[in-house]
Amino acid sequence: MNSFVELQRCNTNTTFIIKLVFPEFENIKESKISIFSALGTAIFSEKVGGEVVYKTWKNENHIKITDVIFQPEANGNYYVDKHDYGYF
């Protein structure tokens, strides 16, 4: 959780950054995406360079994972940082 991931839309080559979070902290306007959303589940176990397809009620989306900018677990941080969720 709390990983920052850079993604690229395959049809337009535009990039954007999301933060993967638990469902209760999802906030689309802040680019905080639940791991249980269509996009979250599609990219959760993929590697950088991988392309995924996820469906919404409107359409099918093709996304490429271009970078994992930050992953807390890779730095030995295995707990939820309460500062990220407005507790402090």
- Residue 87 CA to residue 45 CA, distance in Å, equals 29
- The pLDDT score that the predictor gives to residue 81 is 57
Low-confidence residues in the chain, pLDDT < 50: 85-88
Closest CA to 43 of 67, 75, 78: 67
CATH class of 3-71: alpha beta
- The pLDDT score that the predictor gives to residue 8 is 96
pTM above 0.85, yes or no: no
End-to-end CA distance of the chain: 19
Dihedral over Cα of 34, 38, 54, 57: its sign: negative
- The pLDDT score that the predictor gives to residue 75 is 67
